Amino acid sequence: MNEKGANDQTFRFRNPSQVENILSQYPDRRSALLPLLHMATAEAGYITQPIINAVARIVEAHPSEIMETVSFYSMLHTAPKGEFILQICQTLPCSIRGADNLVDHLCERLSIQPGETTKDGKFTVMKVECLGACDIAPLVQVNNDHHEKMTVEKLDKLLKSLS
Ligand code: FES
**pLDDT grade for 65, boundaries at 50, 70 and 90:** very high
The better pLDDT of the pair 147, 9 is held by 147
pTM above 0.85, yes or no: no
| Residue 131 Cβ < 6 Å to ligand 1 | yes
Task: Say yes or no: CB of residue 133 within 6 Å of ligand 1.
Answer: yes
Min mean pLDDT across 3-7, 43-47, 83-87 is at 3-7
CA–CA separation, 119 and 110 (whole Å): 9
Predicted confidence band of residue 5 (pLDDT cuts 50, 70, 90):
very low
Q: In the chain, count H helices and then E strands.
A: 7, 4
Least Cα distance to 39 among 17, 7, 64 occurs for: 17
Q: Higher confidence at residue 3 or residue 86?
A: 86
* Ligand 1 centroid to residue 1 C-alpha, Å: 33
Nearest atom (ligand 1) to Cα of 99: 2
pLDDT over threshold 80, residue 1: no
| pLDDT single digits (tens) 74-111 | 889 998 899 999 999 999 999 999 999 999 999 999 99
pLDDT digits (tens, 9 = 90+) for 140-160: 999 989 999 999 999 999 999
Q: What pLDDT was estimated at residue 93?
A: 96
Between the CA atoms of 29, 26, 75 and 94, what dihedral angle is there, to the nearest 10 degrees? Answer: 130
134 lines ligand 1 (CB under 6 A): yes
The alpha-helical segments, DSSP class H, found in the chain are: 16-24, 33-44, 49-59, 63-72, 92-95, 99-110, 152-162
Instruction: Please give the mean pLDDT across all residues of the chain.
Output: 93
pLDDT at residue 9, as a whole number: 76
Query: How many angstroms does the Cα of residue 136 sit away from the middle of ligand 1?
Result: 8
pLDDT of residue 131: 92
**95 close to ligand 1 (CB < 6 Angstrom):** no
Is 91 touching ligand 1 by the criterion CB < 6 Å?
Answer: yes
Tell me how far apart the alpha carbons of residues 139 and 14 are, in angstroms, rounded to a whole number: 35
